Structure 1
Amino acid sequence: MLSVLGPLSSQTKLFASRNKPRGDSFVFRLHYRTTFVFVMGSCLMVTATQYLGDKISCLGDKDALPDTVIETFCFISSTFTLPSTSDGQAGLEVAHKGLGPSTPDTETKYHNYYMWVPYVLFLQAISFYVPHWIWKMVQTDKVNNVLQGLNYLIINQEERKKKEDIMVDYLYYQWGTHTAWAMKYVFCELLNLVNIVLQLVITNQFLGGEFTTYGSRVVDFVNQDPQSRTDPMYEVFPRITKCTFHRYGPSGSIERHDAMCVLSINILNEKIYLTMWFWFLFLLAITILMVIYRAITLFFPAVRSKVILSRAYRYGSHETTDFVSEKCNFGDW
């Protein structure tokens, strides 16, 4: 399993080197590094477990049907539970919660999402990387080119002076031309916000509307009386379900075969989506705060002056930073 996650190790460096020029923010990196690694790693784990291990095990009539037939059929079609039996006491009133005898009029809840989990997770991981990819395409590595290596502490003083003169000349002659470049970055930050909202909606629809309150229900479940509580993880990701297989009998009549299936893959799915619920909400909150901060710096030059002063407190003064902030627009800042 560790070898499967190995290729993602290069993406886990959330905190870039202090001397390395950065053309994006910490929140931006939370999207295309931390979240991308988490979702893609979950995709790889589910794929390895689902297609290299026992994805489903069904208990049926072995004399009538081979296990491989019923298990393959149940996995590629769907399994179901009976909501009317979910409140029954397991082992006394029902064999397992959500299971019981069914008739054509019995309400059934079908579960076929588990076969699509790896594909959905993969597309979600890619979606978190897309804004970063767009930014890489449009920024043309401007930060690195402007700094020319001046971010490194060890550099020849004569060479440093030459590069500083080049940088000052660039800023002087290109003053006022960076607005479009800066707005492209703001656009990519907005894409991050749109994407995290979209992923919350997609995940909720994918899980049949259960994802919105999933995490909060699990927290409530932990604090409830163990004798009367109902595990919401079991409701959203049932571990034991039913499956019905029809075939023609020797006389040509249709025979019905019921099987009870164990979805071991849901043990992993329930933990992944619980972690995802908490992380997505945190990411949404911190992304909204970043967008608000970006809007404030965009419309209030005084704030930009304070930010410059906080970054250059050893070298500048209020008069210098105020003068620079008054003369430059948002893109130059």
Structure 2
Amino acid sequence: MGNGLCVETGSSMTVFDWMDHVLGTVQAQVGLRSIYDDDFIDRLNHYYTVILLIIFTVIVSTNQYVGDPIECWCPADFTENRVDYTNFVCWVSNTYYIPMQNQIPVNVENRRQKELTYYQWVPIILLILALLFKIPRMFWKVLSASSGISMDKLGNLAKETQYVSPEDREKKLTHIVKYLDQWLSGIQHYRAGMCVKLRERASTVACCFCGRHFGNYLVTCVLFTKLLYLINAISQLYILNAFLGTDYSVYGIEVLTSLYNGEDWTYSPRFPRVTLCDFEIRQMTNLQRWTVQCVLPINLFNEKIFIFLWFWHVFLAFLSAFSLVVSAYAFMFPQHRKSYIRKYLLLNKLYKTGRTANEKEKRMIRRFVDNYLRQDGCYVLRVFSNNANDVITSEIIKYLYTDYLEKEQRERKEPLDRNGLLEENPK
């Protein structure tokens, strides 16, 4: 299952595998990438998107605090100090937008209904969005900490195994296999309580019967985290809709419609570049109200950033939904887990397909997958495949399978045949 997008792992890379490889290589060169316990779509949510939002925050903040975020056209009799004051007061107070062809309302309250209240807070809202993308990842870290296995450290170890000498590689693989065997043996279900068999069978397809001893705790956490990513991507569209005070949830559709009709899509009343500002100057007992026309250069950046964010959120929502559905389909059907393991055993010549396969081999693989690896074990092996490579995963599965056969032979005190399988019990 490459990056959670296909049930079977093929020899060819998917586009997500290729993107992950390229981005991961770049980050490795600068010392940023150190996450190897999830797939590319999850990293696209909690890692790459956060970096992107931080870059946007830096761009907007630089224009606000280093450049001139607003320039107002003041009367000719305004001194330089008055011009500076006008620019400052119009920036900290809200401007409002009235199209050039429309008359300015006489009623001040009607003007306030057209106010733009967002442009001063764009850096803060971008940082809040970045934090929201991190929340599902925080849930995953907290929940996976109770699984009894350190996914990130184990993933890093599998990643490092690709780049060491053959002697060190054998040691690292032995260490990984031993660690996995202790973990898999330690999560075997304690047979107590009522309806044990029924709960065990229900746990293979229903996450409501979850837990370490059911062998599906990690899988349940993964599906819950992917659901959070999906909810987060969709809900942020409505958060931005409330923040901007406009129909932002249909913004991208309007842009596409403008492109289709050949209209100018680069100018939107949501992000006007020319606005109006009302302010009052008190001189002794006189109170003078001024209305000036201001330019917001910052909205050139805001418009392009929020157009991109609309399409990016829709893209993430689609990928997150696709990843959730495919992952649930792969994890909940035992046949897919068996097919995944059989493929690697076939590469190691520990399994024969077609007519050469016998019932004894099939039965042993079923027991290996259902009773030993179970859902969580298969998920960990898929993480290895996603973040290391198929060669490392193949060797780990080979060692786990041979150790499992030896353990079964010792427990049953039955001899192994020439293929390494248990002899049929004469009884």
TM-score range, shorter chain: 0.7 to 0.9
Shift of 1:211: 1.3
Matched residue, 1:296 = 329
Partner of 2:53: 39
Q: CA deviation at 1:122?
A: 0.7
Amino acid at match of 1:120: I
Superimposed CA distance per residue, residues 246-305 of structure 1 (whole angstroms, 9 cap, x where no aligned partner): 22346x243221100000000000000011111110000010111112322342212222
- Matching residue of 2:24: 15
Conserved? CA contact 2:246–2:270, under 8 Å = no
Percent identity, aligned pairs only, is: 24
- Measure how far apart 1:175 and its partner are: 4.3
**Equivalent residue letter for 1:15:** G
Q: What residue is the counterpart of 2:359 in the other structure? A: none
* Cα distance in structure 2, aligned partners of 1:126 and 1:168: 33
User: Where does the alignment leave 5 or more consecutive residues of structure 2 unmatched?
Assistant: 1-20, 29-33, 189-211, 354-361, 379-427
1:184: which partner in 2?
221
TM-score by length of 1: 0.79
Change (3 A) 1:155 1:215: same
Partner of 2:255: 218
Mark the CA change 1:71 to 1:145 in structure 2 (over 3 Å): closer, same or farther: closer
The answer for the alignment partner of 1:325 in structure 2 is 369
Query: Which residue type is aligned with residue 166 of structure 1?
Result: K
User: Which residue of structure 1 lines up, in the alignment, with residue 231 of structure 2?
Assistant: 194
From 216, 227, 245, give the equivalent of 2:279.
245
Q: Distance in 1 between matches of 2:345 and 2:268?
A: 54
| Partner in structure 1 of residue 240 of structure 2 | 203
Give the number of equivalent residue pairs: 304
Q: Following the alignment from structure 1 to structure 2, what is the Cα–Cα distance between the partners of residues 36 and 101?
A: 41
- 1:1-333 to structure 2, matched below 5 A, reads 14-15=23-24, 22-64=36-78, 66-82=82-98, 86=99, 96=100, 100-104=103-107, 107-108=110-111, 109-140=114-145, 142-143=150-151, 149=157, 152-153=161-162, 154-156=165-167, 159=171, 162-163=174-175, 166-167=178-179, 169-176=181-188, 177=212, 178-225=215-262, 231=265, 233-249=267-283, 252-309=285-342, 314-315=347-348, 317=351, 319=362, 322-327=366-371, 328-333=373-378
Q: 1:107 to 1:223 in 2, by over 3 A?
A: farther
1:60–1:257 Cα contact (<8 Å) kept: no
Q: Which amino acid aligns with 2:243?
A: F
Between the aligned partners of 1:63 and 1:47, the Cα distance in structure 2 is: 32
Q: Secondary structure at the match of 1:200?
A: helix
SS in structure 1 opposite 2:280? strand
SS at match of 2:221: helix
C-alpha deviation, 1:232, in angstroms: 6.9
Report the residue type matching 1:114 in the other structure.
Answer: Y
The alpha carbon displacement at 1:214 in A equals 1.1
Q: Deviations over 1:146-201 (max 9, x none)?
A: 57945514331763674366246425522444533443333322222222122111
User: Could you say if the C-alpha distance between residues 14 and 244 of structure 1 is closer, same or farther in structure 2, counting changes exceeding 3 Å?
Assistant: same
TM-fit CA distance, 1:64 = 4.5
Kindly indicate whether the alpha-carbon contact (under 8 Å) linking 1:36 and 1:125 is maintained by their aligned counterparts in 2: yes
1:60/1:125 CA distance change after superposition, 3 Å: same
Q: Residue 74 and residue 214 in structure 1: after superposition, are their counterparts in 2 closer, same or farther (change >3 A)?
A: same
Equivalent in the alignment of 2:395: none
Cα distance in structure 2, aligned partners of 1:182 and 1:69: 59
Looking at structure 1, the residues matched to 276 and 155 of structure 2 have their Cα atoms a distance apart, in angstroms, of 63
Distance in 2 (CA, whole Å) between partners of 1:297 and 1:260 is 59
SS at match of 1:23: coil
Shift of 1:23: 1.1
Aligned residues of 2:154 and 2:176 also touching (Cα < 8 A): no
The answer (yes or no) to whether the contact 2:97–2:275 under 8 Å persists in 1 is yes
1:14-36 residue CA offsets vs partner (Å, 9 max, x unmatched): 4377xx88211111000112211
The structure carrying a bigger helix percent of its residues is 2
Distance 1:201 1:324, change over 3 A: farther
Q: CA deviation at 1:310?
A: 5.2
How far off is 1:143 after superposition? 3.2
Cα pair distance change 1:130/1:163, threshold 3 Å: same
* Aligned residues of 1:304 and 1:325 also touching (Cα < 8 A): yes
Partner of 1:3: none
Q: Which runs of 5 or more structure 1 residues have no equivalent in the other structure?
A: 1-11, 87-95
Q: Is the 8 A contact 1:146 1:167 kept in 2?
A: no
* 8 Å Cα contact 2:281/2:288 also seen in 1: yes
Q: Distance in 2 between matches of 1:282 and 1:136?
A: 25
Contact 2:230 2:321 in 1 (8 A): yes
Aligned CA distance change for structure 1 residues 107 and 225 (closer, same or farther; 3 Å): farther
